[in-house]
Amino acid sequence: MALAGLHTETPTIFLRPRPLARSPGSFILLPLLPHPRPLKPLPPEVWSKVLSYVIDDGEDSRMAVPERRVFFRDKWRLLFVCKSWVDVILPLLYSRVHIFTVSALQKFAAHLCASDQRWDSIRRIPYSTPGRWVQMLDLTEMMLVHSTDLLSVDSNLVRIFPLLPFLRNLYLIPEMLLSNRALVALQCKDGISELRSLKGLKVSVSSEQGSFQPFVPSLDTVINLLRHCPRLEQLEIICVVTANSELDPDIDLDPSALQNDESLLPPLHLPYLKFLCLFAIPICPLFRILLHTPLPALRRLVVTPCGDLYSPQLSTLLSAHGCNLTSLRINIPRYPLPILSTGTGDPPPWSVLTSCPELHRLTLNYPLPSLTLPAAPPVPGVPPPQPHPLRVLTIPRPNARFLRGLEVLLPRLPSLTVIRVRSVRWLRAGVSGKALEAGVQGEMHEWRRRFLRRGVRLVDGEWRDPG
């Protein structure tokens, strides 16, 4: 009995060496090894960290839309692996919400509203679940098929914005204009001051002052929204087609003159803004406020000019915010105008390297400008200007005039290591030598040999070097 009491966790095993004997004896089998101790369960914080690597693995960034939808749907199967995982996985799955259809947005809004109505005041947390779990809402890949989808999406966003107090990243539909009520709902929600990323914000600038357009947000509403987002780190603004988007000659874009302009609204407070994308923004109060707003943390700038590439609007923008830029991309103008050229037919010189002295990556489009740097002063005893830190230059196609001008500047660009031709691919190995020396490929090989002497590699759009 005493031995049986020592081994209560496992049944007692009896050995009978002579089972056919008249009086068989039996012996108790004693374990040779101690009984293993039970494993301690992992705390929920550890499981949350482990499962976060499974859910946020980053594999969806290179997938097409149908594959991404299946990929995100499969992640919800983790709820059926273990019952104790449900409380850990649900906040992780709701932290990054990707919505691809209007019907999915309607179901999501209905679920948030129903959950919020069931939330009682006895709980210690004032915000309901799963709304308070959402940290990122991505609508960029939503397809708008019917004409009524605009109103449906706008109405559902008005319902769900107040239920997302901890929303940090918001990616809107680039093709859709949000109404004033949706922007006001976003502005007045709890936690709007902690918003970090706002992309796909589409605005409309009307040439007719005082004209009312239904379902089109006013610039005052957009500006008030930005005033309530002091911790923004990424901002993307898209402007729709306007009737009068050309530069008014009576507007003075000089930053020193803007400070004395009484009609200008107070500047925004965006001390943490690192990335700014402006798509076809004309001269309007929003652009003038952004020009007047100090952006000390701005490092990346993407600009699609509204008119001419060499307009004073873009030059003034770079003069105001280009001192700390490390990456600059200039896209094809949205409404291209006739290019002003010099008497020799060359494009006018562009002092982008002077306006951006810390630039590391520069991406240009046609028409390619003529890059310039200030010449060394001939006065003896005056130190020469500092070399420019440009490292990577991207152009659409090889241009002999542009590359010749760049070759002259190479002594002033000692850090330049790569010139990328975005719209060209090197021919595969095994192609005849005549084909490699013909057309664009021949011009690419010729410039590759010339730049290699200076230690600069010429790569194609896939960053490949045939050597």
Q: Which of 295, 290, 291, 292 is nearest to 272 (CA)?
A: 295
- How much is the pLDDT for 256? 52
Nearest-angstrom CA–CA distance, 432 and 250: 59
With a cut of 70, list the residues of the chain below it in pLDDT.
1-10, 57-62, 121-123, 206-217, 241-264, 307-310, 334-349, 375-384, 429-439, 467
- How much is the pLDDT for 206? 63
Whether the link from the prior residue into 91 is cis, omega within 30° of 0, is no
- How much is the pLDDT for 325? 92
Q: State both tokens at 293.
A: 């707003």
Q: What is the CA radius of gyration of the chain?
A: 32
Residue reference for tokens 């008014």: 248
Beta bridge partners of 395: 421
Structural element, H or E, at residue 150: helix 149-160
Nearest-angstrom CA–CA distance, 170 and 135: 9
Q: What's the burial of 413, exposed, middle or buried (CB within 10 Å: 0-12/13-18/19+)? A: buried
Report the amino acid identity of residue 55.
I
Q: State both tokens at 425.
A: 């691919």
- How much is the pLDDT for 23? 78
Report the amino acid identity of residue 336.
P
pTM of the model: 0.80
Q: Kindly provide the residue ranges of all beta strands, DSSP E only, lying in 4-119, ordered along the sequence.
A: 14-15, 27-28, 96-98
Q: Kindly provide the residue ranges of all beta strands, DSSP E only, lying in 305-374, ordered along the sequence.
A: 327-330, 349-350, 361-363, 370-371
